[in-house]
Amino acid sequence: MTFTVIPYKLSGHFNQVIMQVILVPTDLSENSKGGIRFAINIALKIQIKLRYVYVVPLQYSVDLVDDHKHLNCDTDNQTLQLNDFIDLCYKEVNIKPGHYDTIILEGLRPDLAILDYCRGRQDIAYISISTRGASGFNKTLGTNTGNLVTKSLLPIVVVPSFYKIAPIKSLFYASDLQDWRRELANVKGLAKKFGARIEMVHITNRLDEGNAIALSMVSCQGFDFRLIKKNPVQSLISQLMNQAKQLKPDVLIIFTNRHRTLIERVFNKILAEELSFHPLVPIIVFRKIETPQFNRSSIR
């Protein structure tokens, strides 16, 4: 695994001060621009640096005499292409480029190269990546986006490829109520930075005394909280998406366990594709902090 970091359009101040970074993967296609536009939108609201990454596939040649030989990529040429593409993205949204840099990685698969790069790095706060759906073998093997959602320990922002920059006024927090106080601290932090309101929703198979207590406790937090009975003839993801359609949030936020994702535990294969491949709005996927006192059950 090799990589080259190319500092680009950074002032001396930001070269000296370590800033939090949003890592933005792109394959230089139109479909990858949604994740780029969302990252640009975030950078307009908070002081954070963007790092655009392009993964070049590893290439080998077959020699009759020697073993397989690795062919190094032309990082200079790839960097020029990446910089030109990012400049074009800023021009298309009529926004002056802020503080960002670009990076070229080599890897067998983009998702594995990105995960390897992020391992142990303290500066990366989020990964913002577009999704456009999957077909053929990708449905079996998993897309780059799906693999990042299930394997990354960093928060992942899954952005529709059609996303356009707009004010972030509302956050839809889908909660399982297992660790809502700790999770809510993260959600409130984002809401404060964006100046957005919070809509918290919990869908449950039962409306019991415990849920009623949670309703009264969460309602004291000063924002809307909806406790909704699970519809037995409707899938959970469909019911959740219907709530999103009603509330029309700018961002959907969910928390998942590390070893088994929300998608794997709750949704069947087709519904998982609907969530991870065709989101209605940007989805921020956080990892839960696993502690003994909290079980691993998902949205009830």
User: What residues form DSSP beta bridges with 203?
Assistant: 228
pLDDT digits (tens, 9 = 90+) for 73-114: 677 888 999 999 999 999 999 999 988 999 999 888 888 999
Q: What is the predicted pLDDT for the residue at 269?
A: 41
Query: What integer pLDDT is reported at residue 280 of this predicted model?
Result: 82
pLDDT band for position 264 (50/70/90)?
A: very low
pLDDT digits (tens, 9 = 90+) for 234-249: 877 778 888 888 889 9
Unique residue bearing structure tokens 């209605």: 280
Examine domains 3-160 and 170-287 and report if their fold is the same: yes
Structure tokens at 149: 């959602």
Task: Please tell me the predicted confidence (pLDDT) of residue 30.
Answer: 92
State yes or no: pLDDT of 18 exceeds 60.
Answer: no
CB atoms within 10 A of CB 47: 11
Q: What are the sequence ranges of the domains in the chain?
A: 3-160, 170-287
CATH superfamily ID and name for 170-287: HUPs (3.40.50.620)
Top-tier CATH class for 3-160 = alpha beta
Q: What is the pLDDT of residues 153-212, one digit of tens each?
A: 899 999 998 999 999 999 999 888 888 888 988 899 999 999 999 998 888 877 665 566
261: confidence class by pLDDT, cuts 50, 70, 90? very low
The confidence score (pLDDT) of residue 181 equals 83
Using the Cα atoms of residue 111, residue 296, residue 290 and residue 176 in order, give the sign of their dihedral: positive
Percent of the chain whose predicted confidence (pLDDT) is above 70? 69
Asked whether the predicted pLDDT for residue 31 surpasses 70, the reply is yes
